[in-house]
């Protein structure tokens, strides 16, 4: 017998495209009423569908979160919030020395503080339903490559917050799950590549001399991973399963690269891992040298 989920809500932030949109569609297909967080009205018009209700949600804007709370509180069908999928995010890649502080703050505002704000707002509902929080982290939340200081810093912090929250909520029967994707074909990766190229152009001549080749190698590597990465629809299946299965694991990886790197990070000494990461990047330096 198929269970009905028509009386259950799921909030998915960052649902305009990529993994967020695919996850929202997958959960809606499974019968949940999905409140799909988007930042623009044109994205809302695109994603709207059966069991899919777009809501304007920039997680860095308190008024958007307050409006979401009001929407759930006054749900016309008196549906319960079953889960929150924290998927919204941006990618900012540049060397620690060269990345302006306002960009560091923007990265943490979106990839950490916005998620915390949304979790705090949704937890009263999740306590009532004994629901679940699913935080979309990254393999970058376990391994920080060069130029990923800000992005990985926010993801490492999200992993720590998730661990603390899981232990705090366990006695109250609210579950916390972390998803760690590797290379996935998403628009966010493409936007991150575009931003990285802009940062190269904005570096001082000395910074460009120090880091320009590294940045280009990272851009080349990210571009290659985007072409060969896991489709967003496949990633959505992992996220949807983690959101709905009765007894979820505390962590899931997406993609072979994420599975391998997260395991290696636990067993290899730092210097050995440094050499492995450098070796994996080396072919993309060669591309840079011949262009």
In this predicted structure, the answer to whether residue 258 has a pLDDT above a threshold of 70 is: yes
Residue 109 phi/psi, 5-degree rounding, is -60, -45
Pick from 133, 127, 128: nearest CA to 13: 133
Please write the tens of the pLDDT for every residue from 16-50.
999 999 999 999 999 999 999 999 999 999 999 99
Given this model, what pLDDT does residue 290 score? 38
Residue 1 has pLDDT above 70, yes or no: no
**Burial of 253 per CB tally in 10 Å (0-12, 13-18, 19+):** buried
For 207-257, how does the pLDDT look when each residue is reduced to its tens digit (9 = 90+)?
Answer: 999 999 999 999 888 888 777 788 999 999 999 999 999 999 999 999 888
CA dihedral 81, 87, 90, 93 (to 10 degrees): 140
Please measure the distance between the N-terminal and C-terminal CA atoms of the chain and give it in whole angstroms: 60
Q: What is the pLDDT of residues 147-178, one digit of tens each?
A: 999 999 999 999 999 999 999 999 999 999 99
Set 32, 151, 211, 284: catalytic member: 151
Residues in the chain: 291
Cβ-based neighbours of 265, under 8 Å, separated by 6 or more: 142, 143, 273
- Percent residues over pLDDT 90 in the chain: 80
Radius of gyration of the chain (CA): 19
Q: Which CATH superfamily is domain 8-186+231-268 in?
A: NAD(P)-binding Rossmann-like Domain (3.40.50.720)
CB-based contacts of 192, cutoff 8 Å, min separation 6: 90, 91, 92, 93, 151, 222
Q: What is the pLDDT of residue 6?
A: 76
pTM over 0.95: no
- Report the distance separating Cα 3 and Cα 24, nearest Å: 19
Tokens at 190, concatenated:
């493409």
Spatial CA neighbour of 51 closest among 178, 190, 207, 240: 240
Residue 286: predicted pLDDT: 63
**Of the candidates 12, 182, 2, which has an alpha carbon nearest to the alpha carbon of residue 85?**
12
For the stretch 77-108, pLDDT in tens is 999 999 999 999 998 889 999 999 999 999 99
Respond yes or no: is residue 211 known to be catalytic: no
């Amino acid at each position: 017998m198929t269970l009905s989920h028509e009386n259950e809500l799921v909030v998915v932030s960052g649902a305009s495209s990529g993994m967020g949109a695919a996850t929202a569609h997958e959960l809606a297909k499974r019968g949940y009423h999905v409140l799909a967080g988007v930042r623009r009205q044109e994205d809302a018009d695109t994603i709207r569908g059966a069991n899919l209700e777009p809501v304007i949600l920039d997680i860095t804007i308190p008024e958007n979160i307050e409006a979401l709370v009001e929407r759930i509180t006054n749900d016309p069908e008196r549906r319960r919030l079953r889960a929150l999928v924290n998927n919204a995010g941006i990618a900012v890649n540049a060397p620690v020395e060269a990345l302006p502080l306002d960009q560091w703050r923007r990265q943490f505002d979106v990839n950490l503080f916005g998620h915390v704000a949304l979790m705090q707002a949704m937890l009263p509902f999740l306590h009532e339903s004994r629901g679940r929080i699913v935080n979309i982290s990254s393999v970058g939340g376990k391994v920080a490559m060069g130029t990923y200081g800000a992005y990985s810093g926010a993801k490492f912090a999200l992993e720590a917050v998730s661990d603390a929250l899981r232990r705090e909520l366990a006695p109250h029967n609210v579950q916390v799950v972390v998803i760690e994707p590797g290379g996935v074909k998403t628009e966010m990766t493409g936007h991150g590549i575009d931003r990285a190229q802009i940062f190269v152009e904005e570096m001082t001549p000395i910074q460009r001399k120090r880091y320009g080749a590294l940045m280009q190698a990272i851009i080349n590597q990210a571009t290659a991973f985007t072409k060969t990465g896991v489709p967003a629809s496949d990633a959505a299946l992992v996220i949807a399963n983690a959101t709905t299965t009765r007894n979820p694991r505390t962590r899931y990886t997406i993609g072979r690269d994420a599975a391998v790197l997260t395991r290696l990070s636990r067993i290899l000494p730092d210097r050995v891992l440094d050499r492995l990461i450098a070796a994996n990047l080396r072919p993309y330096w060669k591309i840079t040298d011949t262009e």
